Copies of this chain bind each other. A is one copy, B any other.
Amino acid sequence: MSNTIGKLFQLTSFGESHGKAIGGIITGCPAGITLDFDKIQYELDRRKPGQSNIVTQRKEDDEVEFLSGIFEGKTTGMPIGFQIENQNQKSKDYSHIKDVYRPSHADFTYDKKYGHRDYRGGGRTSARETANWVVAGAIAKQIIPEIEINAYVSSVGDLFLEKPYQALDFSKTDQNVVRCPDEEVAEQMIQKIKDTRKQGDTIGGTITCVIKNVPVGLGEPIFDKLHARLAFAMMSINAVKGFEYGSGFCGAKMNGSEHNDLFNEDGSTKSNLSGGIQGGISNGMDIYFRVAFKPVATLMQTQPTIDKDGNVVEMQGKGRHDACVVPRAVPIVEALAAMVLVDFSLLNKTHS
C-alpha cells in the first residue's frame, strides 16, 4: 500500500474514517516559512462536510493539530507531524453493510486484497483521508505564494459552465455553495443537485483548475512530466475517472495547423492549447486542466447487491452522504496541485 505522495516535498498519511484520528507527516518542507494557520483552517473548512444544504450534513469540525516541525510559528525543515481527530465517529449501526459489498465501492477489492475490510464507513478508502491532503496542500500553497491556484466546478451532470476560464472571476468561486464562479450557472447547478438529492440519487461533475504565475521550468521529463504528475495526483482522489489538460480530449479532434500554439515575440504563446506545459515542463503560460468525477456510489435508494457469501441482498444507503461531491472536492484539487508544484520547484533547484 502506498501512502506517500511526492519526491522531495512528501506527504505520508494515515487514518481511517472511524478510527481515533487521521493525520500525516510532511517532509521536505523548507525551513523558515512563516505559516498562516488561519489559512490552513480555512482550507479545511472548505472541504469539511456540513457546509451547506447541498452537501452531506455530517458535522466534522476538522481541527488540525501540529505536533512537530514548527517552532515559533515557522517551519524548521524538520518533518511536520499533524493529526485531525475523528470527532464524529459515533458508534452507529453498520450491521446493514457489514457483510455486504456495496456496488461501485472498494468493499469487494479491499476484502479480496487484504483479507478483510473495515466496514465502519469505508475505513481507509473514505474520502475523509483527503482532509490530510488539504493540510499538506495549504502548507504547500504558502511555500509558493506567488503561484495562484484556482479550481472551480465546471459541470454538474450535463450542465456545463461554458465560459472559458479567462472570462471568470475566481473571487466569486466561494461565494456560492457549489463553487462555480458564474452566479447564474451556479444557481442552476445548485438546483440540479437539490433535485437529484430529492430523488435519493447522486450526480457526477467536473472540476477545472487554473494555475497562474508558474515559473518556466517545472517538470522532470521523461517520466516525471508536470502533467503526468498532476494526472497521477488527481487520479488519487476518490471518484475521479478522467483527467485532461490544455486542449485535452478536444485536442485529439484537431489538426496541427489549428492546434499549434504559436509564439509571441516575448516567448509567451498565442492560443495556449498547450495548457502551459510543453514536453512535460511548464512554459510560463497558465496551466489548466479538468478532472472528471463519477457520481457518488452511495444512494438513498434501494439497490440489489451481494454479501460476502454471494447471496443477493437489498441494501439502502443510510447516513449522511453527498449527492454531488465536486463542490467539496475543489479545495482537494487545489491542494494536490499545490503539492505537485512545490515538489517540482524543489526538484528544479537541483538543476541550477
Bound form: Cα–Cα A5–B220 in Å:
12
Contact of A346 among B21, B101, B129, B350 (CB under 8 A): B350
A115 at the interface (CB under 8 A from B): yes
Bound form: Cα–Cα A220–B268 in Å:
39
Which residues from B are CB-within-8-Å of A228?
Answer: 231-233, 235-236
Contact of A246 among B158, B201, B241, B256 (CB under 8 A): B241
Contact B244 A2 (CB under 8 A): no
Bound form: Cα–Cα A204–B19 in Å:
44
Q: Could you say which of A48-56, A67-75, A168-176 contacts chain B? A: A67-75
Known contacts A112-B217, A243-B242, A249-B292, A3 near B32 by CB under 8 Å:
no
Which residues from B are CB-within-8-Å of A253?
Answer: 155, 157-158, 204
Q: Could you say which of A10-18, A34-42, A90-98 contacts chain B? A: A10-18
Bound form: Cα–Cα A352–B352 in Å:
12
Known contacts A12-B27, A306-B265, A67 near B79 by CB under 8 Å:
no
Contact of A255 among B106, B125, B196, B221 (CB under 8 A): B196
A77 at the interface (CB under 8 A from B): yes
A108 at the interface (CB under 8 A from B): yes
Contact of A259 among B25, B204, B262 (CB under 8 A): B204
Bound form: Cα–Cα A170–B201 in Å:
37
Contact B19 A220 (CB under 8 A): no
Contact A350 B351 (CB under 8 A): no
Contact of A203 among B254, B294, B295 (CB under 8 A): B254
Contact B12 A259 (CB under 8 A): no
Contact B292 A244 (CB under 8 A): yes
Bound form: Cα–Cα A81–B222 in Å:
15
Q: Could you say which of A144-152, A181-189, A274-282 contacts chain B? A: A274-282
Contact A223 B3 (CB under 8 A): yes
Contact B260 A297 (CB under 8 A): yes
Among A76, A227, A241, A256: residue with most chain B CB under 10 A = A256
A258-275 residues with Cβ-Cβ distance < 8 A to B are 259-267, 269, 273-275
Contact of A25 among B24, B113, B114 (CB under 8 A): B24
Which residues from B are CB-within-8-Å of A22?
Answer: 67-68, 81
A202-220 residues with Cβ-Cβ distance < 8 A to B are 202-206, 216-217, 219-220
Known contacts A232-B228, A252-B294, A81 near B278 by CB under 8 Å:
no
A280–chain B nearest beta-carbon distance, Å: 7
16 more contacts with CB within 8 A, not counting A3-B25, A22-B68, A110-B281, are: A1-B28, A3-B222, A14-B67, A71-B116, A78-B124, A101-B263, A104-B261, A109-B279, A155-B252, A204-B253, A241-B251, A244-B244, A251-B295, A262-B305, A267-B310, A349-B350
**13 pairs across A/B with beta carbons < 8 Å?**
A3-B27, A8-B350, A12-B79, A13-B222, A77-B113, A106-B281, A109-B216, A114-B351, A241-B247, A254-B294, A256-B299, A260-B303, A349-B350
Residues of A participating in the B interface, judged by any CB pair closer than 8 Å = 1-5, 8, 10, 12-16, 19-25, 27-28, 30-32, 65, 67-69, 71, 74, 76-81, 83, 101, 103-106, 108-110, 112-116, 118, 123-125, 129, 155, 157-158, 196, 199, 201-206, 216-217, 219-225, 227-229, 231-233, 235-236, 241-249, 251-257, 259-267, 269, 273-275, 278-283, 292-299, 301, 303-306, 310-312, 346-352
